[in-house]
């Protein structure tokens, strides 16, 4: 039995599908389906049970969690980087993660959880070291606080725990995410609606559209998560990106090339975003490689093609 929190979301639903493809159908999905459209992400997937996230939290707090669990893939969180309700953010991302961690340790269940590259903020060095961590929004801080909390407990573990700092993940199953969907999702929609892709004008020392991020395809995120639960010696916090940054112009051009039409329009960055904007990210993969993960990562051009091909097939 596997538990996937946030299992109807973007990354969680891909993990459920990948487990199915590996022959696993004993899967408990934990999520909040207030937005019922998320069910589409699990269409065609085989699961053993669905538990509302509030009921799951109550169950594990009282020691009544599910039995025979092989591993927990904890993806559930508030991922809205523009959300400034700190009480809500800390409950969703910190308190919930502590509860899942405590239950997993009490039952000796391996746990893989989602952290974020947002912990690095404006840093230009992205190794998993304290001096590089400078969160600039409450989302990034909530992830950083749990990372630090976990590290304080690492020497007393009853089961392995791996936290992955996701960089800019993109792929299918993002339709429910609204403004928090990846740039590939937004560029595709913008181009289909207007024939133009909108990027931010230059700022933070970068020219128009030249802000750079480490864009990582969902297939790679899934592979690394499953690798971690298959290798119980993997414990700690690891970056999960490709190890190379690309500009937003690069991603926009890849979307335009796939469509065979379109142009780029540059717009001013909103004032309220400037102070909490990461203009550059690039994962340092040293720790992940040293832990034994050897697979190559999907290049952005190929990842864009895979994503848009999948969206086209789904629409058809």
* From 113, 120, 139, 293, active-site residue: 139
CA 292 centroid distance within chain: 21
Read off the DSSP letter of residue 27.
Answer: E
Cα 281 from Cα 132, distance rounded (Å): 12
* From 98, 177, 196, 223, active-site residue: 177
Show Cβ contacts of residue 65 under 8 Å, excluding neighbours closer than 6 positions.
56, 59, 103, 107
Cα 209 from Cα 230, distance rounded (Å): 40
**Under 8 Å between Cβ of 124 and 205:** no
Q: How far is CA 50 from CA 174, 188, 255, 276, in A?
A: 20, 32, 36, 36
Cα 257 from Cα 7, distance rounded (Å): 32
Cα 315 from Cα 303, distance rounded (Å): 18
Q: Which residues pair with 116 in a beta bridge?
A: 166
**Under 8 Å between Cβ of 209 and 199:** yes
Cα 59 from Cα 38, distance rounded (Å): 23
**Under 8 Å between Cβ of 15 and 73:** yes
Q: Is 17 a catalytic residue?
A: no
Show Cβ contacts of residue 143 under 8 Å, excluding neighbours closer than 6 positions.
77, 93, 115, 116, 118, 119, 135, 165
Cα 264 from Cα 269, distance rounded (Å): 15
Q: Which residues pair with 10 in a beta bridge?
A: none
Residue 309 backbone phi and psi in degrees, to 5? -60, -45
Q: Is 139 a catalytic residue?
A: yes
Residues with active-site annotation? 139, 177
């Amino acid at each position: 039995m596997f538990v996937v929190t946030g299992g109807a979301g973007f990354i969680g639903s891909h993990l459920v599908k990948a487990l199915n493809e590996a022959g696993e159908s004993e899967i408990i999905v934990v999520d909040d389906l207030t937005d019922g459209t998320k069910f589409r992400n699990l269409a065609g997937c085989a699961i053993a049970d669905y538990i509302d996230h509030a009921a799951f939290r109550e169950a594990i707090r009282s020691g009544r969690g599910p039995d025979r669990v092989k591993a927990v893939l904890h993806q559930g969180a508030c991922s809205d980087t523009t959300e400034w309700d700190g009480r809500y953010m800390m409950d969703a991302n910190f308190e919930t993660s502590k509860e899942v961690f405590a239950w997993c340790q009490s039952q000796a269940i391996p746990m893989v959880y989602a952290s974020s590259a947002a912990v690095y903020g404006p840093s230009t060095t992205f190794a998993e070291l304290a001096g590089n961590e400078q969160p600039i929004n409450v989302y990034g801080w909530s992830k950083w606080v749990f990372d630090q909390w976990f590290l304080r407990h690492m020497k007393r573990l009853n089961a392995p725990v791996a936290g992955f700092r996701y960089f800019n993940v993109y792929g299918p199953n993002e339709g429910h995410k609204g403004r928090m969907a990846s740039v590939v999702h937004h560029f595709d929609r913008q181009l289909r609606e207007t024939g133009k892709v909108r990027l931010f004008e230059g700022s933070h020392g970068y020219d128009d559209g030249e802000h750079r991020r480490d864009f990582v395809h969902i297939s790679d995120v899934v592979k690394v998560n499953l690798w971690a639960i298959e290798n119980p010696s993997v414990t700690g916090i690891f970056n999960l990106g490709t190890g190379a940054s690309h500009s937003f112009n690069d991603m926009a051009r890849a979307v335009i090339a796939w469509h065979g039409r379109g142009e780029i329009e540059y717009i001013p960055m909103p004032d309220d975003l400037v102070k909490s904007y990461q203009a550059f990210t690039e994962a340092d993969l040293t720790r992940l490689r040293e832990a034994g993960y050897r697979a190559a990562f999907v290049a952005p051009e190929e990842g864009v093609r895979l994503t848009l091909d999948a969206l086209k097939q789904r629409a058809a």
